[in-house]
Amino acid sequence: MEGIDVYLSRATKDDRLTNDDWEWLWKNGGTPWAKDAVNPWLVQYIDELTSKREGVRILLPLCGDTFDMKWLVDRGHRVVGVEASETAILKFFSTHEIEYKVEPVEGIENASVYKACDDRLQIFQCDFFAVTKETIGMFDSIWDFGALVAIPPERRQEYVDIIKALLSSKGRIILETIYHREKNKFDGPPFTVEDEKVAELYAPYFDFKFLTQRTNHEIMRKFTEIGFTQFLNVVFLMWILHDE
């Protein structure tokens, strides 16, 4: 089976994907989102993400094996990923030939943290819904790519409440949403998140500004079985509003 077919065999089942399903996808090559390159938008918008500060502590929720983590660490930032799949995390370290140590996480049952690069890179292997500021700390910036859109709609508010609790008062988020339409009924993941939904989820504490968008022809071509008539990646910058 091709990677896309492996993915669809799980993503189109009636029930929501469990963390065991995600692990199965990683083990069986069903990860069509995984790229062998840094996201060009991270390179383009790094100054907006960090406010041009150095040594920023950046969270990548639902990080998978994204190359973005290494790119940020190489630029002197402190990077924390959260990922349920052990296979994804091991793949990241073996791809980049980075040595790491593994420790248990105080306060989260059955969780491990993979530490590398003098602890400037830490990947927590656990359910994102289990993390708190006490267990993983606070962040200056959050790079949310392929994360909110992977969360089932009925758990979005819970996810955003955790994100809000982890961001420091001057912090910034860059968020990718996805908007898709298709001939065959396909719910997700990735799930469509409309612009109004972004406002509803993050208001009244955040202001946000549209950065960019693009039609993803590659995905539309790859997922012919679903028959996408539209597949749009949209990127927002968000920051916390302060009382005057």
Ligand X SMILES: C[S@@+](CC[C@H](N)C(=O)[O-])C[C@H]1O[C@@H](n2cnc3c(N)ncnc32)[C@H](O)[C@@H]1O
Nearer to ligand X, 28 or 207 (CB): 28
How far is 40 from 61, CA to CA, in rounded Å? 18
> Nearest 5°: CA angle at 193, between 189 and 196?
170
Q: Do 69 and 92 contact (CB within 8 A), yes or no? A: yes
Nearer to ligand X, 167 or 175 (CB): 175
Q: How far is the CB of 204 from ligand X (least distance, A)?
A: 26
Q: How far is the CB of 130 from ligand X (least distance, A)?
A: 8
Residues recorded for the chain: 244
Q: How far is the CB of 18 from ligand X (least distance, A)?
A: 9
Strand partners, 79: 58, 121
Nearer to ligand X, 83 or 140 (CB): 83
Q: How far is the CB of 61 from ligand X (least distance, A)?
A: 7
Q: How far is the CB of 34 from ligand X (least distance, A)?
A: 6
Q: Do 164 and 61 contact (CB within 8 A), yes or no? A: no
Nearer to ligand X, 95 or 170 (CB): 95
How distant, in Å, are the alpha carbons of 37, 149, 169, 177, 201 from that of 196? 31, 14, 24, 12, 9
Where do contacts with ligand X occur on this chain (CB under 6 A)? 19, 22, 33-34, 62-64, 66, 82-85, 88, 127-129, 145-147, 150
Nearer to ligand X, 66 or 141 (CB): 66
The C-alpha R_g of the chain, in whole angstroms, comes to 17
